[in-house]
Amino acid sequence: MQDIVEKLVNTLGRDKVITSGELLRRYSRDFWPLLIMREQVLNEELPNPLAVVIPESVDDVSLVFRIINESNDAVPVVVYGGGSSVTGASYGAYSIIIDMTKLNKVININTYDSLITVESGAKLRDVEDSLNKVGYSLRHIPQSFNYATIGGLIATMSSGQYSTLYGNIEDMVLNMEVVLPNGEVTWLRRNNIPRASTGPSLKYLFIGSEGMFGVITKAVLRIVPLPTSTMYGAYKFNSLEHGIEALRELMMRRIIPAVARLYDESEASLRFGLDKSLLIISFEGYYDDLVRMLWVKADEIIKGYGGEYVGGRYFEDWLRTRFNVEEEIEAVKKYGLWFDTIEVSATWSRINQLYRDFRETLPRVNGVMGVMAHVSHLYVNGACTYFTVLFKPNVNTYWELWSKAMETALRDGGSISHHHGIGIVRSRWLRHELGNALSILRAVKTALDSKGVLNTKSGMFFPD
Ligand SMILES: Cc1cc2nc3c(=O)[nH]c(=O)nc-3n(C[C@H](O)[C@H](O)[C@H](O)COP(=O)(O)OP(=O)(O)OC[C@H]3O[C@@H](n4cnc5c(N)ncnc54)[C@H](O)[C@@H]3O)c2cc1C
C-alpha cells in the first residue's frame, strides 16, 4: 500500500497528497456520533487514513483511480465532501481519502431554464449564496447547510427542511459527471432535460450510492426563484396523533407546506419550553393572496384536528436556532450524556405505532436516558419521524440502542433511513429492508468496481 501512496505523491505532487501530521488527523472521522463520542468523550485516538488526495481537476480524480488500479493491492478509497455524514459513510481509517472540496466552482447559472451547474465539492452554503445573489435558490436546506457539499448531498440522498414543498435532492438533480472506479470520466446524459424516457435513469445509480459506484464531479440541478411571500406560525395539540392526522389531511388536500415540523411533548418541552405537541408550519410562494389562501385552508384543517394557534414566535425560535449544532452538542455533554439521531420513514397508517414502539423499546436499553421525536418531510403517503436518543456514553449502549431501533423500524414496516443513508452504522440491517434486491446492488458494484475498493470499506452496504 505504501507504494501506492508514493506513486500518488510522485504523480500528483506533494501539494495534492497529505501523508502525515495534524492535517491527516483532520480526516480521521466524519460526523458519525459514535466516532465523535469515542474521540471527544471516551478520549480514544482514532486511526488516521493512509493518505488524503486533494484533486484540483477531474483529471486528477481519474488519475487516482488509474494509479490504484495498476496496483495488485486492493486499497480502500473513501470520497470525502464536507465530512458531515452522521453514519460513518465518509470515515476513512486506513484508506486513501479523496477530498473533493477544491473542485468547488459554480460553472453556470441559467435562470431561464432554472438550472445550475456546479462542481461537486462546492459547499451548499456557497452555492446558495451565489444563487441568492441572482434572486434564486436551490431551496435545499438541511441542518448541515454550513458543512455539506453538493456531491455529499447527492451521494447520501439528502433531504432538506423545505422538502415537503420543493422535494428532496433526487428531485433536483438532472445530470451528473462522474468518475468511475476504473478512472473513466463520463456524463450520465448528453443533454439536460426535465425528464426523458430513455431507459432506466442512471442518475439513480449515483443518488444515494454513498460513493460506491463512482465519484460525482459535477452536477446539474434545478433551481427556483427565491420566494417573495411567506406565512408562518405554530399550533399546539393535546396529542401527537391529532397533529399527525392534521398533517396527513393537508397532504391529501394538496395544501403543501414549505416547512412542517410536528414535535412530540418531550422535544417541544426541550426546544420550546412547551408541555404539548407543537406544530411549526410555513407556506411560501410568489403571490401573497395565494399563500394566504393556503394558510386559511390549512388553519381550518389543523383546527379541525384540535390544533390551537399559538402565534409566530415558535417558528421564529426555530428559524433562529436551527443551525446551532455545536451548542446542542455542548449542552448534551454538560449533562454527562451523548446522543444520536435516527430518522425513519413510514406510511401514515404506521407512523403512530412506530413512534410508540420507539418510545417504548429504546428506553429499555441500559443507559438510554431519553427518546424524543418530531415528524417532518411530508408526502401524500407518509412522513419521516426523526428520533433523538440521549444516553450515557458507552459503545455497547450505542450498538444496543441502534439494534433495537433498526429492528423496531423494520418490524413496524418503516424504512431504516429516510435521509442520512446507510454508512457503517446501518449496513447490517440493509438486507432486511431490501431482501433479495440487495444482490442487484452487489452485481452493479462488482461490474463497476471489481476490486471493491471504493467506499465499501468496513462492510458498508455489504457487511458480509
Ligand atoms: C448537524 C448535522 C445535521 C444534518 N442534517 C441533515 C439534514 O437535515 N438532511 C440531510 O439529508 N442530512 C443531514 N445531515 C447528514 C449529512 O450532512 C448529509 O448526509 C450530507 O449529505 C453529507 O454531505 P457531505 O458533503 O458532508 O458528505 P460526506 O460526509 O463527505 O460524505 C457522505 C457520503 O457521500 C460520499 N460522497 C461525498 N462526496 C461525494 C462525491 N463527490 N461523489 C461520490 N460520493 C461522495 C462519501 O463517500 C460518503 O459516503 C446532517 C449532518 C449533520 C452533522
Ordered strands of the 382-391 beta sheet:
308-309, 229-237, 277-285, 259-263, 368-378, 382-391, 338-347
Confidence of residue 322 (pLDDT cuts 50, 70, 90): very high
Average pLDDT, the chain: 96
Examine the pLDDT at 368 and tell me if it is beyond 90.
yes
Contact 424, 399 (CB under 8 A): no
The position carrying cell 459514535 is 34
Whole-number pLDDT of residue 464: 77
Whole-number pLDDT of residue 110: 98
Examine the pLDDT at 2 and tell me if it is beyond 80.
no
Confidence of residue 73 (pLDDT cuts 50, 70, 90): confident
pLDDT tens-digit readout, 203-239? 999 999 999 999 999 999 999 999 999 999 999 999 9
| Residues near ligand 1 (Cβ within 6 A) | 30-31, 78-86, 89-90, 100, 120, 142-144, 147-149, 151-153, 155-156, 158-159, 210-211, 215-216, 325, 419-421, 455
Whole-number pLDDT of residue 101: 98
Contact 189, 97 (CB under 8 A): no
Whole-number pLDDT of residue 332: 93
CATH topology for the 325-418 domain: GMP Synthetase; Chain A, domain 3 (3.30.300)
Examine the pLDDT at 457 and tell me if it is beyond 90.
no
The position carrying cell 419550553 is 273
Index of the ligand 1 atom closest to the CA of residue 169: 11
Whole-number pLDDT of residue 71: 87
pLDDT tens-digit readout, 156-212? 999 999 999 999 999 999 999 999 999 999 999 999 999 999 999 999 999 999 999
Index of the ligand 1 atom closest to the CA of residue 158: 11
- The residue ranges of every structural domain in the chain are 2-101, 106-225, 229-321, 325-418
Pick left, alpha or beta for residue 337 (phi over 0 → left; psi -120 to 50 → alpha; otherwise beta): beta
Whole-number pLDDT of residue 417: 98
Confidence of residue 72 (pLDDT cuts 50, 70, 90): confident
Examine the pLDDT at 1 and tell me if it is beyond 80.
no
CATH topology for the 106-225 domain: 3.30.465
Cα-to-centroid distance, 372 and ligand 1 (Å): 23
Examine the pLDDT at 38 and tell me if it is beyond 90.
yes
Cα-to-centroid distance, 145 and ligand 1 (Å): 10
**CA 78 vs CA 93, 96, 188, 394, 398: distances in Å:** 9, 6, 22, 27, 24
Cα-to-centroid distance, 81 and ligand 1 (Å): 7
Domain 229-321 listed as CATH 3.30.70.3450: yes
Examine the pLDDT at 74 and tell me if it is beyond 90.
no
Cα-to-centroid distance, 153 and ligand 1 (Å): 5
Residue to probe by mutation, ligand 1, list 40, 54, 146, 158, most atoms within 8 Å of CB: 158
Whole-number pLDDT of residue 455: 86
Cα-to-centroid distance, 384 and ligand 1 (Å): 18
**CA 133 vs CA 109, 126, 127, 400: distances in Å:** 11, 11, 10, 47
Q: Which CATH number fits domain 2-101: 2.60.120.650, 3.30.43.10, 3.30.365.10, 3.30.70.260?
A: 3.30.43.10
pLDDT tens-digit readout, 401-412? 999 999 999 999
Average pLDDT for 359-373: 98
Confidence of residue 62 (pLDDT cuts 50, 70, 90): very high
Examine the pLDDT at 458 and tell me if it is beyond 90.
no
Separation between Cα atoms, residue 362 and residue 320, nearest integer Å: 31
Separation between Cα atoms, residue 343 and residue 86, nearest integer Å: 11
Residue to probe by mutation, ligand 1, list 84, 96, 206, most atoms within 8 Å of CB: 84
Contact 262, 247 (CB under 8 A): yes
Examine the pLDDT at 459 and tell me if it is beyond 90.
no
pLDDT tens-digit readout, 124-169? 999 999 999 999 999 999 999 999 999 999 999 999 999 999 999 9
Q: Measured at the alpha carbon of residue 134, what is the angle toward residues 133 and 136, in degrees to the nearest 5?
A: 100
**CA 5 vs CA 2, 14, 93, 222: distances in Å:** 5, 11, 15, 39
Separation between Cα atoms, residue 273 and residue 294, nearest integer Å: 29
What is the value of pTM for the model shown?
Answer: 0.98
Cα-to-centroid distance, 161 and ligand 1 (Å): 15
Whole-number pLDDT of residue 358: 98
Residue to probe by mutation, ligand 1, list 79, 96, 105, 415, most atoms within 8 Å of CB: 79
